[in-house]
């Protein structure tokens, strides 16, 4: 754990240059706009440790998988988000010496991420080996308005007169760090360098994704635009323009780079270059400041519905905004074919692919903080991949429209191939159905069932009904050979969470069937025909639902994680020497699998999803039991524990768990921030406050609150979107105030009573 970045309400600040922290800072200061993004690589040359990363949503590479012992059903490839053409690079020589922060003396350095406006900036003062001192300032952003546009402004003010040479380049010759066979994924198509404009088109070796990156460079001396003609260079996947300019002491020489990145994910391959040229011309007609003004206003609007204010704890304040900021940089709902990689646009780990993280963790964040259209796009994403999920299930031997969504995917095909996860971690299917329910509960848009929702639910219910089997001996349905969310246990029988979720999916689908038939009879008949649904399926689901085995142990009053869990050697985590943790680094995999230690919420994940099914006592007993064996070695875990601890009134525990998720990346808690940020846990951290401490629930379109204020805070406030209208909730030890900022009356439910608030009215509990 580190205490490195300076605390501030709205900014992340790094003071002083520390090369050993550079890759961590590159992750933390990443910027993006939901369609593309970039790590905060230094613009000028840097020969120290760095993970250069620029990512464009939608395009990916099917990297040939690395598997020792092949098994039938394994996917051929693991999709990788592509490290793509680097547009923000500069090489700068001052009096013939190249500026490279690993080689010069860094006298002053400050890097800042302004989260309110979406701006990455840096100021530094350096002394070169030749004695020259320079001040460098840079500003960079990805536009939240024009999603194919990003821009850089880089200024140098020398303290003595000097000759500067700048090479502004676009480089498509980049490589994924996580490439399985150290292969480069991009091939050259075309390079153009015409005056201030550079174009590089590359295509992937497989799948024929094309990407055109175009830049327009402007050079200024003390605000005045220079008409210096650059010396241009082109080579494979690379184009550059080199500018020479002399500066007197105190002259400010600035370079502005407008960049366009477009791919054939959104445009036809034939029109791509032309489209990039037109876009570049259009965007270069306005200034860096004008574009930034528009983008920063869009950021301010996002904050109006998503902000959380924490009083009396600046580090907590900074952390929650950091999390909200990155979630909004990762996904804006622009395209239903895009999703949320566990690292967003901040790194390559997890291949940038879609996991159950999206539905179980991220969707609830967007549901309360953003326009419902954004959440709907996440559902449509899965609907569009339903055919592939059916194919995926068929490959594994299921039939009749049963759908198994992949554990890891880019385009609907499974990419993961550890058998215990690919074939067995099937609970992901349930999270996708649960997301449909959450969306409907929040928005009231039950008609979504007619536009994809029903078909997805049906495919999933069919899968579960085939995945269970009847046990003659037990006279019940069981589900064997699964891996629950706790991946420190594989190939178990009757994972309580998976069985419970499967049963719920079948019940929920049956309920929606009845509603659709009653309310949308004609339209639904078409869907029934399309899906070849037979009413006997309802009977089968009901039979399974009534007879599905859900392990529990009455004497302890707990649900049992899976068959055999209680027969393990149950030594609580508290009795493990600290030196043996984290287990995944200190113990063999075999030892972990045999142990009772839980990587992440499993039974408790079920309590989180289905809280109304269980009494307060059941909550407490199960929490107490499972918390003592949970090592939280997945970043998805502490937030669920925090929310449940808050629910059962263990505010100190809730706070302890919240701290593990809130500053996970800022304080490099897991020692892996350099790989990229943990976007899923960021959503969890937001939910720990809003659903945990705030007790916010939206059920059947009704707003419920049950707020507690951690003693460490003077108070907190959050903004949410409820029924498309902004609602502000202010909590402090004196009580809770709710302000209806929308144009219609709302009803607020609280353990102390129910309040009806007219538009613009506030009320207190």
Alpha-carbon gap, residue 142 to 744, rounded angstroms: 35
Q: Which of 196, 487, 602, 675 binds ligand BGC (CB under 6 A)?
A: 487
Q: Kindly state the smallest distance separating residue 565's Cβ from ligand BGC, in Å.
A: 18
Give me the 308-347 binding string for ligand BGC, x by CB under 6 A, dash otherwise: ----------------------------------x-----
Q: Which of 17, 46, 86, 356 binds ligand BGC (CB under 6 A)?
A: 356
Q: Does residue 498 bind ligand BGC (CB under 6 A)?
A: no
Q: Which is nearer to ligand BGC, 498 or 600 (CB)?
A: 600
Alpha-carbon gap, residue 657 to 386, rounded angstroms: 36
Q: Which of 17, 350, 629, 658 binds ligand BGC (CB under 6 A)?
A: 350
Q: Does residue 305 bind ligand BGC (CB under 6 A)?
A: no
Q: Does residue 355 bind ligand BGC (CB under 6 A)?
A: yes
Q: Which is nearer to ligand BGC, 215 or 605 (CB)?
A: 605
- Return the number of other C-beta atoms located less than 10 Å from residue 419's C-beta: 18
552-to-119, 500, 557 alpha-carbon distances in Å: 52, 12, 7
Closest CA to 113 of 677, 669, 657, 658: 677
* Pairing mode, strands 253-263 and 54-64: unpaired
Q: Which of 53, 57, 352, 485 binds ligand BGC (CB under 6 A)?
A: 485
Looking at the DSSP bridge assignments, the partners of residue 584 are none
Q: Which is nearer to ligand BGC, 357 or 424 (CB)?
A: 357
Q: Kindly state the smallest distance separating residue 632's Cβ from ligand BGC, in Å.
A: 11
Q: State the DSSP H helix or E strand holding residue 26, giving kind and residue range, or none if neither.
A: helix 22-28
Closest CA to 369 of 610, 35, 759, 727: 727
Q: Which is nearer to ligand BGC, 347 or 707 (CB)?
A: 347
| Residue 603 CA, distance from chain mean position | 24
Which is catalytic among the residues 348, 414, 487, 489? 487
Q: Kindly state the smallest distance separating residue 410's Cβ from ligand BGC, in Å.
A: 14
> Of 615-644, which residues contact ligand BGC (CB under 6 A)?
634, 636
Q: Are 31 and 118 in contact (CB under 8 A)?
A: yes
Q: Which is nearer to ligand BGC, 527 or 593 (CB)?
A: 593
Quick one: which segment of 350-358, 394-402, 412-420, 542-550 binds ligand BGC (CB under 6 A)? 350-358
Kindly report the backbone phi and psi dihedral angles of residue 241, in degrees, each rounded to the nearest multiple of 5, phi listed first. Answer: -130, 130
355 CB-near residues (< 8 Å, 6+ apart): 342, 407, 408, 428, 680
Q: Kindly state the smallest distance separating residue 131's Cβ from ligand BGC, in Å.
A: 50
Q: Does residue 352 bind ligand BGC (CB under 6 A)?
A: no
Alpha-carbon gap, residue 418 to 24, rounded angstroms: 29
- Cα 599–505–605 angle (5° rounding)? 20
> Of 570-599, which residues contact ligand BGC (CB under 6 A)?
599
Catalytic, 487? Answer yes
From first CA to last CA, the distance across the chain in angstroms is 39
Q: Does residue 453 bind ligand BGC (CB under 6 A)?
A: no
Q: Does residue 609 bind ligand BGC (CB under 6 A)?
A: no
Beta strands in 159-196 (DSSP E): 162-171, 186-194
Q: Kindly state the smallest distance separating residue 349's Cβ from ligand BGC, in Å.
A: 9
Alpha-carbon gap, residue 355 to 427, rounded angstroms: 11
Residues contacting ligand BGC: total by CB under 6 A: 12
Collapsed DSSP state (helix, strand, coil) of residue 202: strand
Q: Which of 318, 512, 642, 680 binds ligand BGC (CB under 6 A)?
A: 680
Q: Which is nearer to ligand BGC, 26 or 359 (CB)?
A: 359
Alpha-carbon gap, residue 500 to 445, rounded angstroms: 25
Q: Does residue 706 bind ligand BGC (CB under 6 A)?
A: no
Q: Does residue 729 bind ligand BGC (CB under 6 A)?
A: no
Q: Are 200 and 128 in contact (CB under 8 A)?
A: no
Q: Which is nearer to ligand BGC, 191 or 602 (CB)?
A: 602
Footprint of ligand BGC on this chain (CB under 6 A)? 342, 350, 355-357, 485, 487, 599-600, 634, 636, 680
Active site residues: 487
């Amino acid at each position: 754990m580190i205490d490195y970045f300076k605390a501030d309400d709205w900014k992340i600040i790094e003071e002083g240059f520390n090369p050993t922290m550079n890759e961590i800072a590159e992750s933390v200061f990443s910027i993006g706009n939901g369609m593309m993004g970039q790590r905060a690589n230094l613009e000028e040359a840097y020969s120290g440790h760095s993970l250069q990363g620029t990512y464009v949503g939608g395009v990916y590479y099917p990297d040939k998988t690395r598997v020792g012992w092949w098994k039938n059903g394994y996917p051929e490839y693991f999709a990788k988000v592509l490290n793509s053409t680097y547009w923000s690079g500069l090489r700068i020589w001052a009096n013939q010496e190249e500026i490279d922060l690993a080689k010069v003396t860094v006298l002053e350095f400050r890097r800042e991420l302004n989260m309110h406006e979406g701006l990455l900036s840096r100021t530094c003062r350096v002394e070169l080996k030749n004695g020259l001192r320079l001040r460098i300032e840079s500003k960079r952003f990805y536009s939240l308005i024009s999603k194919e546009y990003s821009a850089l402004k880089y200024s140098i003010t020398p303290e003595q007169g000097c000759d500067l040479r700048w090479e502004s380049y676009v480089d498509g010759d980049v490589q994924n760090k996580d490439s399985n066979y150290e292969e480069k994924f991009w091939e050259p198509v075309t390079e153009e360098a015409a005056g201030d404009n550079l174009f590089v088109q590359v295509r992937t070796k497989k799948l024929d994704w094309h990407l055109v990156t175009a830049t327009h460079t402007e050079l200024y001396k003390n605000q005045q635009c220079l008409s210096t003609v650059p010396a241009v260079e082109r080579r494979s996947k690379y184009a550059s323009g080199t500018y020479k300019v002399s500066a007197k002491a105190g002259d400010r020489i600035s370079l502005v780079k407008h960049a366009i990145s477009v791919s054939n994910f959104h445009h036809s391959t034939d029109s791509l270059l032309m489209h990039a040229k037109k876009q570049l011309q259009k965007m270069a007609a306005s200034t860096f400041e004008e574009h930034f003004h528009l983008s920063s206003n869009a950021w301010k609007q996002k904050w109006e519905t998503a902000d959380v204010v924490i009083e009396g704890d600046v580090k907590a304040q900074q952390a929650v905004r950091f999390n909200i900021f990155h979630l909004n940089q990762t996904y804006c709902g622009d395209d239903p074919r895009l999703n949320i990689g566990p690292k967003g646009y901040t790194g390559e780990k997890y291949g940038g692919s879609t996991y159950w993280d999206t539905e179980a963790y991220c969707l609830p964040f967007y549901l309360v903080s953003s326009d419902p259209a954004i959440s709907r796009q996440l559902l449509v994403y899965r609907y569009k991949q339903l055919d592939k999920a059916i194919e995926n299930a068929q490959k594994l031997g299921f039939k009749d429209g049963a759908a198994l969504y992949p554990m890891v995917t880019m385009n609907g095909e499974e990419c993961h191939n550890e058998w215990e996860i690919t074939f067995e971690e099937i609970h992901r299917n349930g999270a996708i159905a649960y997301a449909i329910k959450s969306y409907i509960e929040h928005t009231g848009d039950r008609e979504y069932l007619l536009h994809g929702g029903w078909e997805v639910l049906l495919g999933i219910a069919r899968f579960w009904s085939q995945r269970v089997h009847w046990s003659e001996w037990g006279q019940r349905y069981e589900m064997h050979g699964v891996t629950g969310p706790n991946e420190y246990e594989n190939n178990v029988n009757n994972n309580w969470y998976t069985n419970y979720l499967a049963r719920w999916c079948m019940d929920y689908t049956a309920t929606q069937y009845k509603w659709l038939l009653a309310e949308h009879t004609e339209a639904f008949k078409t869907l029934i025909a399309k899906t070849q649904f037979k009413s006997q399926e309802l009977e089968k689901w009901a039979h399974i639902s009534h007879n599905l085995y859900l392990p529990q142990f009455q004497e302890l009053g707990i649900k049992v994680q899976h068959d055999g869990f209680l027969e393990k050697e149950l030594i609580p985590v508290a009795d493990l020497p600290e030196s043996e943790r984290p287990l995944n680094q200190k113990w063999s995999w075999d030892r972990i699998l045999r142990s009772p230690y839980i990587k992440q919420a499993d039974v408790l994940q079920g309590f989180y999803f289905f809280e109304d099914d269980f009494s307060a006592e059941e909550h407490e007993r199960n929490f107490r039991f499972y918390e003592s064996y949970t090592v939280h070695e997945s970043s998805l875990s502490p937030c669920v524990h925090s929310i449940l601890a808050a629910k059962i009134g263990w505010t100190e525990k809730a706070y302890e768990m919240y701290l593990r998720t809130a500053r996970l990346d800022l304080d490099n808690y897991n020692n892996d921030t350099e790989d990229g940020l943990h976007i899923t846990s960021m959503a969890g951290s937001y939910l720990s406050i809003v659903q945990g401490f705030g007790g916010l629930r939206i059920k059947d379109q009704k707003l419920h609150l049950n707020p507690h204020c951690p003693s460490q805070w003077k108070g907190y406030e959050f903004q949410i979107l409820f029924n498309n209208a902004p609602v502000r909730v202010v909590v402090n030890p004196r009580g809770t105030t709710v302000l209806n900022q929308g144009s219609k009356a709302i009803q607020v439910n609280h353990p102390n009573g129910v309040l009806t608030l007219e538009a613009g009215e506030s009320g207190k509990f």
